[in-house]
Amino acid sequence: MIKTPREIVPKILQTVTQATSTKNASVNTTEWAKYFEFQITGNAEEKKQLSAIVDACARFVKSVKAGDQPYWLSLLGTSGAGKTYLARKVWRWFSHSSFFRSSIDDDTKEIIYPGSWCNWPRLAGELLGNSGYGRLEDLQTEKLTILDEIGADRDPSGHVRDCMSRLLSGRVGKWTLITSNKSLGDVDRDIDTRVASRMLRDGSIVVEVDVSDFSKRK
């Protein structure tokens, strides 16, 4: 049966409302921390920041599940905070979920791969050695990408930075989880102003933590 616009509009509105509510929904931090096997330790301020990072990852998972408008989640801050550890847990969930499936692009008819984990410094090394370009292209199109440790590479010529800017322009509007031990200000100054501003645009979320190394917290 053909639906009238009157029937369709409330459905669209409902989808929009759902999208917004998943992203801002309150989550049970204790349960999610348990699910991610992520210990929330340290002083009161550290616990608050670590809870915020768990909540953001929980909402990211929930938003992917709910089919929301894709956004970027950037986990930034001090070394040993558990950013990569948590990103791995999100990756493990995704790679074992029913969302981890290839599909075909309606327009180009090309395969869209479900996603991958990318250790950025390793790819940066390849790019400096004039390889890794195919991988860079694949990373632009896949549904969900985790870019671990951006900015941890040596890049005297700025070539790696340019590749990353290009990659990230291609990932606008796609699920992207980024980790870096740089602050947003450092990303802006040391990597690329455009990357820093995209981390904040179009509903993307930045969580910055300033906590001591996991092994030194109690």
Instruction: Say whether residue 81 binds ligand ATP (CB under 6 A).
Output: yes
* DSSP E strands, the chain: 72-77, 103-104, 111-112, 115-119, 144-148, 175-180, 205-209
For ligand ATP, the binding residue among 68, 149, 153, 192 (CB under 6 A) is: 149
By a kind-dependent CB cut-off of 5 to 8 A, residue 30 interacts, out of ligand ATP, Mg ion, none, with none
Is the Cβ of residue 22 or residue 209 nearer to ligand ATP in the bound state? 209
CB 135 within 8 A of CB 129: no
Q: Up-side HSE of residue 67: CA atoms within 13 Å toward CB?
A: 4
Q: Up-side HSE of residue 145: CA atoms within 13 Å toward CB?
A: 26
Strand duo 115-119 + 111-112: pairing:
unpaired
Instruction: Say whether residue 99 binds ligand ATP (CB under 6 A).
Output: no
CB 177 within 8 A of CB 142: no
Q: Which stretch binds Mg ion (CB under 5 A): 9-17, 81-89, 162-170, 195-203?
A: 81-89
Tokens of 25: 């929904």
Tell me which residue has its CB nearest to ligand ATP: 82
CB 193 within 8 A of CB 162: no
By a kind-dependent CB cut-off of 5 to 8 A, residue 203 interacts, out of ligand ATP, Mg ion, none, with none
Is the Cβ of residue 22 or residue 120 nearer to Mg ion in the bound state? 120
Q: Up-side HSE of residue 26: CA atoms within 13 Å toward CB?
A: 2
Smallest distance, Mg ion to C-beta of residue 217, A: 16
Instruction: Say whether residue 183 binds ligand ATP (CB under 6 A).
Output: no
Instruction: Say whether residue 169 binds ligand ATP (CB under 6 A).
Output: no
Is the Cβ of residue 82 or residue 115 nearer to ligand ATP in the bound state? 82
Is the Cβ of residue 35 or residue 85 nearer to ligand ATP in the bound state? 85
Give contact residues for ligand ATP (rule: CB under 6 A). 38-39, 79-85, 149, 179, 181, 214
Give contact residues for Mg ion (rule: CB under 5 A). 84
